[in-house]
A and B are shown apart, each in its own frame.
Chain A
């Protein structure tokens, strides 16, 4: 085991800049541990730890000096916090190489190998021909044109398009936020520490190099991961007491002189920050729109202004970075208040508190949805920009068509809360991780659980697809967890093998199965889902299509990892795949970069996958399995 002396967390000396109080800041440290402990051996070769960058945890704000509580049973509630997460951006406009890789393959591939039960995903931007009829759940067969480009959010609303149109006049000049963060006298921002040679470093920055934004405690650091002095931050922003829990960079508006970053805070506040000009704007000030913490935040696909934030009270809110706050009062009566809908139906629908089609679009929020009363832990947009998936603390997992403002599917974890979610690059599969220590793979077309991946020794905190190792049949998934480990999974459509379908005797621990095939026949299970089915209105989708029961273990394929390795001493919380590396980060601020195997060094990718395909078993087994399920109903 490599043990490095940890940098002093709160050393004495070094008085802070004048006027900002006695803040003591430490510097980030960069180390290069080597040895077999810092290598990941996989089929395609060996990933080697390039470096370990530890972000310095800032000292507490003087006004927030924590009272050390000797009582271990103190019932003080601590505000929500999160480990270090990263937002990565490359300024140069780049066509992600992986998109060519898998998309070309998908369109050119002979489809004979794919079992007929799997239809080509409608979410795949290039494959429009096979779309027809595959998307019956939404009731609308997408037109061929839609496959190319998803319509903009709120396209049909003239109230919104006015605002959007504003920027069209001068498309090259990006609008910046109003206030200067360095000169700000807001009590929200405690201090901003730009690098002494910030402008010089910006000039020297390789446009193809990675910029990263990372939160650690109450600080946000802007890092240049391609710089030789990457441990020196570009800018460090310290907030007074709020912790940034999540952040995202707008990939549409980024440019050599512009980056739009949104940050969600433990206080519910949201900040739009443009780091190049050091300008910022604060939204949802004092929780005027929603007072609960922001658990995840992302720019809407292909949108310059709109972003979606998930709040911990189960709300999903679309904000416009340009708009002012207004005290939010629910505009539309939630269907819950209508006497006709029972609990199950409420659950199976999305409560729209403010629709994107609302006429009142002068102020934020643009739209306001409530998915449940449980904390949303994360969400992710589908690659085609039509859907997003949310995962919640109550173990629910939803797929929402946000253009239509409709809940499409509601699944439940095996047990415990779900913590992370990610779409496959082609949009066919969704992967979730949670407190059942499992990585679960869900197929969108079949609206079913494809496999559970067992291998983590604790909760799974982040999952991601490795787009560079995905093609039309094979997928590489990475996951990190509280067990400090990184696991890699190779999942291929054909390789799934299911457990012996042991005679499953159930006693209600799992709600009666509602598999798609079975649903059409067995009335028994559907009546359980909705007691007064005749009240279902046209706007609400059929619940039997929406709510899906937990799959028993005996019917679900189990997938073992292809690699499992402890990569940090602290629980991990974030994972990212880049063209040349894997990046992990942990709760304590370590960012570790793992170089991909050098070309030719490892065996070819095909070796690993062909072996797995040989033991293939068709995915169409799902039909057989559902027959077994009907026995239980």
Chain B
């Protein structure tokens, strides 16, 4: 991989940032497409579900905690769907409304057929998008070319710095200024949930695939209602996640309750609060939504078993949780942290247990196990720990490894599906030396664009291996803080790994071409071509035609060039200085010697190049023949394959292997069919979520956005309303009925846990 970076960097020594700007100088008015733009260059029509929208979020001074969490929630497919569809999806007209005021929107068509990918995504197309009418008036338009001021180099002038990229993102727009209220359109009152829904809907409705969201209204509400977040200080992202989820639950329930009242059901018994979820009355079919969808997604049940050591009596208590906060050990894994979480704990001395059986405080053994596994497992790594000595919180830099896939060991014996497979889909990373300052970003696996880094306004594609950079460790400022695992299946996992592997193979196949045909370049790379398994954007690659490949590499180069030492804008500057510099400073003499050595190496290299070139010429001829032969063969095979692929969709899926070396022409065909497959595959893997989402099921048909498959019989509601056992509708029996006390402290765990460390 480095070889490719090396090639692009050739001539531009990292110490002379001026040379980095050569491209800009040549054509100052044509901004380079960002890596994200390149990634999306081949995208087809925009989907209506928002899965292919990649918007950054503007930072209003330490609001990165909010941005990173919202991004993680947005890319949870079931969560996004629920937010959009509760109580129903806003009609496009409703979204049109704010356009008259401040929202910059040229085209709110959900499926812009007229907008070819080129017009939307090419740099020029985007510039026209952000023409004066489109850009929010309070956002000064920054001309990318104009930023290269001659005097002094500001941090944001370095094209590789996040600051520059963020500025560029805002400049390029479109900027969705979310300072309006749309809640009336779907009959809700102003709330955090409504505001979140507005943001999601605005992103989906926008005709651009990329842009920046300015969540002003959301922050306004958040700060108005929560004193804690009012200060411009650094906040805890996990704290915010917990608050947001609880708030969403509350808003949704509140809405449903109001709805019931509006309907005027005089029967006061019609309103049943069941473990936090409102189960509507049988008659009030209009509001027949399952408001418990947040629970269904994020909530699991913990059983705490307490065994009194005096009377040997064991008492059990179920607690619901929306996320798990786990203590960390140095050099451990998430698996082990979860196991520790469920280890037996002695309740003694000041922490004795009040035993009902023998009466009075007794010593006891307590352990907590997971009884019901959540669909989305939000794991909070307790990196901020209170230290007695310092009387304040301190950040733990422990190295805690996390796998891409996870199962839970700490389940109860009677747990449902105790071997449930989870996949990592989002990581919230905290960067900084302590809990009171720093920065949050999130790294999220998107539906079909691989992993992306969301750093406020900036969105950038990253390698899958990049996710593993945040295990933590000594002198590692950026560590994972919240991990989002979502339920998946073995089959889905295999499918994905297959796709990734294919992409990697394809990428390496592409790499070999230039090596074979251009030995000169190969020489300069000093044979450092180790790159396999590092496909830039694995999933995306599967749909990339041959012609795009070069662009891709360029994009990677862009992403990978190391930024120069730059003071961080996000209050990180002082932190950065504390990084011990490991490489010894070189004296002048050393530099000279280094130069001499470099010259020598240069000579060697050139000699080697010549030699190689000679060899390669011969080889090239040979290979050319072989390749031609291969192409012919493969083309034939492809035709066969295509014929076969039409047979069934599953068959198609399997034919994918053949695509890489196919001719561009036939490639396109395949691609189309693949696109279809992708959709299918994804739909398949996620159908479980759809299945179990109550609000989708019980959507009245007259509401727009309702899908035909949701016209489920109403019996389910009745069933659900009768006993306090909330069932997931996919036929799996829920655990024992919740105890009455449960509804009271249903989120106590999450809150308790979070207050632990603040």
The interface of chain A, by Cβ under 8 A from chain B, is 9-10, 12, 21-22, 24, 59-60, 62-63, 65-77, 79-80, 185, 187-188, 240-242, 265-269, 285-287, 291-293, 311-314, 327, 329, 333, 336-339, 342-343, 346-347, 372-375, 393-395, 412, 414-417, 435-437, 454, 456-459, 482-484, 500, 502, 504-511, 531, 549-550, 552-554, 571
Contacts and interface: CB of A to CB of B under 8 A. Distances in A.
Nearest to B332: A457
Interface in B648-700: 650-651, 653-654, 657-658
Interface string B463-502: 1011000000000111000000000011100100110111
A269 B597 contact: no
Contacts of A66: 583
Contacts of A550: 419, 490
B532 A75 contact: no
The 6 closest A-B pairs by CB, nearest first: A373-B501, A292-B532, A313-B532, A416-B403, A72-B478, A286-B527
B489 A312 contact: no
B453 A75 contact: yes
A600 B420 CA distance: 49
Among B465, B508, B568, the one with the most A-chain Cβ atoms within 10 Å of its Cβ is B508
B335 A437 contact: yes
A75 B530 contact: no
B601 A187 contact: yes
Contacts of A24: 584
Contact of A415 (B162, B329, B421, B593): B421
A458 B528 CA distance: 32
Interface in B638-654: 640-641, 644, 650-651, 653-654
Contact of A373 (B455, B498, B534, B653): B498
Given A286-B522, A458-B332, A63 B562 contact: no
A553 B331 contact: no
Contact of B332 (A9, A73, A374, A483): A483
B598 A63 contact: yes
B230 interface: no
Interface stretch (B143-151, B305-313, B509-517): B509-517
A175 B431 CA distance: 55
A287 B447 CA distance: 33
B596 to A, nearest CB: 8
Interface residues of B, number: 111
Contact of A312 (B533, B559, B623): B533
B327 interface: no
A21 B594 CA distance: 7
B270 interface: no
Nearest to A76: B560
Contacts of A60: 583
Interface string B622-650: 11001000100110010011001000001
5 contacts: A62-B598, A414-B407, A417-B403, A482-B399, A509-B407
Interface of B: 1-2, 5, 14, 161-162, 329, 331-333, 335-336, 399, 401, 403-407, 409, 413-414, 416-421, 429, 431, 441, 453, 455, 460, 462-463, 465-466, 476-478, 489-491, 494, 497-498, 500-502, 504-505, 508, 511-512, 515-516, 522, 526-534, 559-563, 565-566, 568, 576, 579, 581-584, 586, 589-590, 593-594, 597-598, 601, 604-605, 608, 612, 619, 622-623, 626, 630, 633-634, 637, 640-641, 644, 650-651, 653-654, 657-658, 732
Given A75-B466, A286-B529, A508-B489, 16 more contacts: A187-B601, A187-B605, A267-B528, A268-B527, A286-B612, A292-B532, A327-B516, A338-B637, A372-B501, A437-B336, A457-B332, A502-B414, A507-B417, A509-B419, A531-B650, A554-B418
A313 B502 CA distance: 10
Contacts of A188: 526-527
A375 B532 contact: yes
A286 B332 CA distance: 37
A549 B419 CA distance: 13
B532 A240 contact: no
Given A22-B590, A313-B532, A291 B515 contact: yes
A71 B336 contact: no
Contacts of B453: 73, 75
A174 to B, nearest CB: 28
A291 B409 contact: no
A511 B331 contact: no
A267 B530 contact: yes
Contacts of A415: 403, 405-407, 421
Contact of A291 (B399, B529, B565, B608): B529
Given A327-B516, A329-B623, A416-B405, A457 B333 contact: yes
Nearest to A566: B331
Contacts of B404: 416-417
B137 to A, nearest CB: 32
Nearest to B594: A62
A22 B594 contact: yes
B140 to A, nearest CB: 26
Nearest to A241: B528
Contacts of B566: 70-71
Given A21-B597, A416-B403, A552 B419 contact: yes
A457 B329 contact: yes
Contact of A75 (B399, B477, B560, B594): B560
Contacts of B528: 79, 241-242, 267
